[in-house]
Amino acid sequence: MAEIYYSSRAPRTPEALTVSQLNEFVKRMLESSAPLQNLTVRGEISNFKNHYSGHFYFTLKDEASQLRAVMFRSAAARLKFLPEDGMKVTVRGRLSAFVRDGVYQLYCDTMEPDGVGALWVAFEQLKNKLGAEGLFSPERKRPLPKIPARIGVVTSPTGAVIRDIINVTGRRFPMARITLYPSLVQGAEAPGQLIAGLDYFNRTDSADVIIIGRGGGSFEDLWAFNDEALARTVAASRIPVISAVGHDTDFTICDFAADVRAPTPSAAAELAVPDTAELKRKITNLIAREAGILASKVHLDRQRLDALASSRALRDPIGAVEERRLLLDAATDRLRRAEATRVAVRRAGLGEIAGKLSALDPLATLSRGYAAVYRPDGALVRSVGDMHEGERVTVRTVGGEAVCTVDEVKEEIR
C-alpha cells in the first residue's frame, strides 16, 4: 500500500498515486473496518444476472441509492430460491472494492426474502414454473380406478400414515392388497427415495393406484414433497397417484402434480378404494332394477303372445287361407278384365292406323281404275310434257304392266 507522509513544519501536497494504488488503498481501508465486514443490508434487487459460472451479479437499491453486489457460486448454491428483479431481500456479507473498476460492492454470503421465508419463495417460484408448463392442468390428470385390487404406498414404514391406510382399507375394502415401498419422508435424501418408490410401481406394474405422503409437520418438514424432480415423476406416472401430505391446510408441489390430492392419508385411502357396504347396496339396487326391467319385458312379451294366440290366423288357419284364396280369385278376375280392355283399346288403335296406311297405299288407288306410267329410265310420268312421240313407256296397273309406244302427244288447251 502506498504511504502518504506530511511534514511536521508545513503542509505539502502528498506524492502522486497511481489509480491502482488508490483503489488498493480504498480496498484495504474498507476491509480493515470490522463493521463493514459483517453487514446486513436490505434493498430491492435490480439488474440481476445469473452468470453461467454460477455467480450472481445484481444491484441493491432503495428510493435514493443503489449498491453493487455479488454472490459467488459457493454461496448461491445454498439458496432455496432464485433471486429476481424487483424482489426485496435482506443480505449479509462484507464490503470491499473491486480494484479494476474502482467501485466498491457488497460480497454476499446469505440472502433472505424480505418479509417471507426463502422456502416459501422457492415454493411459489416452482409452483409458478411448473404451472406454466401445464404440469398441473386438469386435462392431464388420470381418473382413479373404480375397484382397485392393488394399492401401492410410498411412505415411511414406521409412521402413522401406513397404519391409517391399512386400517381404512381393511374396513372399506379388505379385498385390496397393499404394497408398501419404504421411504424417508423428510430430509435431503427423501426426494430420491420417494422418486424410486414411484418408479418401482410403474416399472413393475404392481399397483392400480399409488398413495404417496406423510403425516403433518412444519413447512420445512414437508419440504421433500416440494422437490421439482419428484413433481415431474408424479406427473409422468402411468399409474394414478394420490398425494396425501400433511393435514388439510398443508399444500405441497406434489399435491398439485398428483392426479388427486387428499387432505389426509386416511382420506387418501377412502378415495383409493370403494366402500364394500356401499358396493353391496349398489349391486342390490342394480339387481332389483334389472329384475324389474326383465319382468316388464316378460309381461309385454306375454301380452304379445296372447294377442297372437287369439288371432284368427292361429284359431282358424283354413278359413284364413280360404279368405285369401277368394281375394286372389277376385284379383285374378280384375287382372283379366283389365287385360281384355287393354287389348281392345290397342286393337282399335291398330285398326285406325291400318286404315290410314290403306288410304295411302298406291295399289289401292290403281284398283279404282288408275294406272302409273313410267319412262324408259324408270322415272314416273307426272304430266303429258314428260312424254314424247315414238317413246316407249311402261304402264303399271292392277295385276301387272304393259309396254306401249307413244304415237301422239296432245296437250290440253286451257
The DSSP line for 95-143 is EEEETTTTEEEEEEEEEEESSS-HHHHHHHHHHHHHHHTTTT-GGGPPP
Cα–Cα dist 221/200, whole Å: 24
| 209 and 155 both lie in a single domain | yes
Examine residue 322 and state whether it is found in any structural domain, yes or no: no
| 283 and 385 both lie in a single domain | no
Examine residue 377 and state whether it is found in any structural domain, yes or no: yes
| 267 and 392 both lie in a single domain | no
| 99 and 180 both lie in a single domain | no
| 140 and 228 both lie in a single domain | yes
Q: Taking Cα atoms as reference points, which of 238, 236, 240, 193 lies closest to residue 214? A: 193
User: Could you give the dihedral angle defined by the CA atoms of residues 386, 392, 396 and 397, in that order, rounded to the nearest 10 degrees?
Assistant: 100
| 39 and 162 both lie in a single domain | no
Examine residue 345 and state whether it is found in any structural domain, yes or no: no
Examine residue 216 and state whether it is found in any structural domain, yes or no: yes
**Cβ(245)–Cβ(154) below 8 Å:** no
> What is the residue range of 58's domain?
19-115
Question: In angstroms, what is the C-alpha Rg of the chain?
Answer: 58
Domains identified in the chain, total number: 4
| 111 and 245 both lie in a single domain | no
Cα–Cα dist 71/60, whole Å: 12
* pLDDT tens over the chain, length 414 residues: 334 344 445 455 567 888 888 888 888 888 888 888 888 888 888 888 998 888 999 988 888 888 999 999 999 888 887 888 877 888 889 998 888 888 889 999 988 877 656 677 778 888 888 989 999 999 999 999 998 999 999 999 998 899 999 999 999 999 999 999 999 999 889 999 999 999 999 999 999 999 999 988 877 788 899 999 999 999 999 999 999 998 777 788 999 999 999 988 999 999 999 887 777 787 888 888 888 898 889 888 888 887 777 777 677 777 777 778 888 888 888 998 888 888 888 888 888 887 777 666 666 666 666 788 888 888 888 887 778 888 888 888 877 888 888 888 887 766
Per-residue b/e over 151-161, b at no fewer than 16 CB within 10 Å? bbbbbbeeeeb
| 389 and 285 both lie in a single domain | no
| 218 and 284 both lie in a single domain | no
Examine residue 232 and state whether it is found in any structural domain, yes or no: yes
Examine residue 328 and state whether it is found in any structural domain, yes or no: no
Q: 154 is written with which cell numbers?
A: 410410498
Write down the pTM of the prediction.
Answer: 0.52
Examine residue 341 and state whether it is found in any structural domain, yes or no: no
Greatest CA span in the chain, whole angstroms? 187
Examine residue 327 and state whether it is found in any structural domain, yes or no: no
